[in-house]
Amino acid sequence: KVNIEGKKIGFVMTGSFCTFKKTIDELKKIVELKANVVPIMSENSYTMDTKFGRAKDFIDEIEGITENKILHTIQEVEPIGPKNMLDILVAPATGNTMAKLANDIIDGPATMAVKSHLRRERPVVIAISTNNGLSGAGENIGKLFNRKHYYFVPFRQDNPITKPRSIVFDPAYLIKTIEEALEGEQIQPMLL
């Protein structure tokens, strides 16, 4: 198992607003383990206020925790690969983000960060959070399972009764997944 102290970890926040609070809790733990976290946000996560909180409040909290400015434009994230800025990239990902990655649609800072990072053949950790993972998004998840350098945080059904197709990652496994991915290994089991 790799120690993440001193590792340069890109952390992408996409439109999975319902996971922000628990994801930020894990982000704090990563920083406490002395990793250097480069925060990245999609356009929507950087600008949209939702029932889960105000964008400005999340921005302030994330920048306060990481002590780094959030990268939130294509121009800011494009140099990630060419300038060898990261050891690993972590992306709590919506069905929309996974669909774009699976089909090589690079149209914003989140997907550009992943594309740029993959130029160096470094690991990308996907933390699934989608309401249709067991329906429409399933095909794209399958594509990413079969791609080199993608690793997945273990996940489960979110709420089988009221959201029967929804799946979500378990934040308790995020750091362990990062450690394993830095070794080129997929943490097991993936399905909880």
Residues 6+ apart with CB under 8 A from 161: none
Tell me the pTM. Answer: 0.94
Digit-coded pLDDT (tens) for 125-162: 999 999 888 998 999 999 999 999 999 999 999 888 99
Digit-coded pLDDT (tens) for 13-51: 987 787 888 889 999 999 999 999 999 999 999 999 999
What pLDDT does 53 receive?
Answer: 92
Pairing of the two strands 150-152 and 8-13 = unpaired
What 3-state class would DSSP assign to 72?
A: coil
Structure tokens that stand for 180 in this block = 């394993």
H helix or E strand, kind and range, residue 99: helix 95-102
Which has the closest alpha carbon to 41: 68, 2, 8, 6?
Answer: 68
Task: Give how far Cα 155 sits from Cα of 12, 116, 133, 174, 187, Å.
Answer: 18, 26, 10, 10, 11
Over residues 110-123, mean pLDDT: 97
Is 26 exposed, middle or buried (CB count within 10 Å of its CB: 0-12, 13-18, 19+)?
Answer: buried
